[in-house]
Structure 1
């Protein structure tokens, strides 16, 4: 009923409006048509009749589509904008066209497109965006286009496609995506499988869907690309107490090690949540000597948290301010994985037994497993580890020595050094 009222309103309003001066208006087969093509226009005209259903602005000099550009024509079903000079389609430029079935934006210079506007165009059946300068498509760009039948994305600058990009297009029958400079790494292999074996969508000119990089694959059609060794990241945050007598000097250093697997090699980040806030570190932020790398956001040449290239994280001066949750996050083109450990330091001077007993009582009341260990960690459940450390004080010189050891290639796990230490692992994973 609401749509009927809207229709009546725009029809009555349209009867009283004249045709914009640079355009031709008419009716054909029940459609209200406005032709503004080949008029050398540099802006979308104003004062369109509200009942227009077909609008052509092709072959003009439009540089952009601003917000609300077509708010006057809510009943528009076909919009032709090919062969302009459009570089930017602003958010809200197309969002009001809920009845739109055909949209042609081909042969422009579009690099900045309001993909979110497509979420309102659920009636769309034809979308032409070929011959532009698009470099990416958001993974959810087409989530509302369940009526779309033809999609043209050829002759753009697309390097990759997010897995599942075309999954919402359940009625899609025709897809053109040739002549894009695809980076043929693991992130594109899903599309090869989908195009060759999964979908029934017609994809013409597949020999022109080729690789541009890496260099050894340049010019290779995607449908002839050999399988690549690809795997999503796997991480394991390992730790083991160590009491090497040669290293037991006054002071305390905490070290964690994140074992990472995956192809292509994942990028490693550390997320450290303490009472002072969240610290995010892209690994590595220090070199093998423990000094901050050039361009690193570390505050000094000896940063508070040292992330080494081999996956180790060193906290040279661990204290109450460094208590919190330490997480290593590995990400590559196929996904991400994360592992975490909670670290707490007992108050200096407090009895180690009292501290552990208090923590143990609290966790036991929650029905969670508990282990005390000497030199071996045995996880008991799916939750984060809770590591409680009882220690007196720290000293920087020993931290430097240990930092140089952690930068080596062997995994060190969790290294705890000090005058006295006591560990409790609760609800481990």
Structure 2
């Protein structure tokens, strides 16, 4: 006897639905308030102007382009993008970012091509967070405090040329640098790293002088204390009754 299997419409639909589920990659869900699209085979997550206060946790792992601009994000924590190994572009412009952790971009340093941090509230940034990146950086329109770390970023990182002039000193060690583009200040011969080195040298000199003064004070106190002990011991010996008169009396009696 030969058994024949017939496939009805309901069975075909079920099989097609099952195949569709198998084709959907893990982690491809889209974060709330975001739009997930695909451009020429590259996935993009668009979360612009969504009043976000932090970076979404459920971004698909295979995202290539990530737009988080025009939100209210205040911080980029360590390992914020570590699971996004395919990421090539991040747009974090026009947020309220004030703090960037040292390991904020750990895990995406190799493949990242573009990082936009312009128009935020960044005053300073750990150089370790940016110097490991190969990405083109946009850092313009932030209230920068001009210091050695920012100078090293300017010289060593890959900055977008059209945005370098907009990296302005909002605060600086000297008032005359405030309001000027950092590149202009550096071109004038200012070296914030040498200023920091001089400050460290002065602090070290002050610390050494204080240590030497404490050593001298200890020696003086030690000598004075020993002198006082010697004086007390001498006074004690002089106060003891002398044995010589008794010897004289004994000889007279004989």
Distance 1:18 1:156, change over 3 A: closer
Partner of 1:110: 97
Gaps in structure 2 of 5+ consecutive residues: 1-20, 228-254
Once residues 16 and 105 of structure 1 are traced to their aligned partners in structure 2, the CA distance between those partners, rounded to angstroms, is: 22
Over residues 362-403 of structure 1, what are the superposed CA-to-partner deviations in whole Å (9 max), with x where a residue is unaligned? xxxxxxxxxxxxxxxxxxxxxxxxxxxxxxx533699xxxxx
Aligned length: 198
CA distance in 1 between partners of 2:191 and 2:156 (Å)? 28
Number of the residue aligned with 1:50? none
Q: Which residue of 2 aligns with 1:223?
A: 184
Q: What is the match of residue 138 of structure 2? A: 152
Aligned to 1:140: 128
From 91, 105, 116, give the equivalent of 2:78.
91
- Higher RCO (Cα < 8 Å, 6 or more apart): 1
The alignment status of 1:317 with 2:218, answered yes or no, reads yes
Deviation at residue 143 of structure 1 after TM alignment: 3.4
Asked whether the 8 Å contact 1:132–1:155 carries over to 2, the reply is yes
Does structure 1 residue 63 correspond to structure 2 residue 48? no
CA distance in 1, matches of 2:192, 2:29: 61
Greater helix share, structure number:
2
TM-score by length of 1: 0.38
Q: Give secondary structure in 1 for the equivalent of 2:214.
A: strand
SS of 1:92 mapped into structure 2: coil
When the two structures are superposed, what TM-score results if normalisation uses the length of structure 2? 0.60
Q: Find the counterpart in structure 2 of residue 124 from structure 1.
A: 112
**1:233-244 alignment, distance < 5 Å:** none
Between the aligned partners of 2:128 and 2:60, the Cα distance in structure 1 is 27
Query: CA 1:138–1:130 in 2, change beyond 3 Å: closer, same or farther?
Result: same
Q: 1:282-308: per-residue Cα shift (whole Å, max 9, x none)?
A: x36xxxxxxxxxxxxxxxxxxxx9718
Change (3 A) 1:11 1:158: farther
Unaligned residue ranges in structure 1 (runs of 5+): 1-9, 32-52, 186-213, 234-261, 271-282, 285-304, 320-392, 399-429
Tell me the C-alpha RMSD between the 2 structures: 4.0
2:224 to 395, 401, 410: 395
Higher Rg: 2
Identify the residue that residue 66 of structure 2 maps to in structure 1. 79
What are the superposed Cα offsets for residues 250-282 of structure 1, whole Å, 9 maximum, x if unpaired? xxxxxxxxxxxx856843237xxxxxxxxxxxx
Encode CA deviations 1:327-367: one digit per residue, 9 max, x unaligned. Answer: xxxxxxxxxxxxxxxxxxxxxxxxxxxxxxxxxxxxxxxxx
CA distance in 2, matches of 1:25, 1:232: 48
Distance 1:11 1:25, change over 3 A: farther
Give yes or no for contact 2:49–2:70 (8 Å, CA) kept in 1: yes
Q: Secondary structure at the match of 2:105?
A: helix
- Whole-Å separation in 2 of the counterparts to 1:263 and 1:216: 19
Within a 5 Å distance, the mapping from 1:186-225 to structure 2 comes to 214-221=174-181, 222-223=183-184
Native 8 Å contact 2:122 2:142 kept in 1: yes
Q: CA deviation at 1:12?
A: 3.8
Secondary structure of 1:268 counterpart = helix
Deviation at 1:135, TM superposition (A): 1.4
Aligned mates of 1:269, 1:151 — CA distance in 2: 36
Bigger strand fraction: 1
Q: Give, in angstroms, the shift of residue 74 of structure 1.
A: 1.7
Distance (Å, rounded) in 2 between the aligned partners of 1:127 and 1:229: 26
Contact 1:119 1:143 in 2 (8 A): no
Structure 1 pair 54/266, CA: closer, same or farther in 2 (3 Å)? same
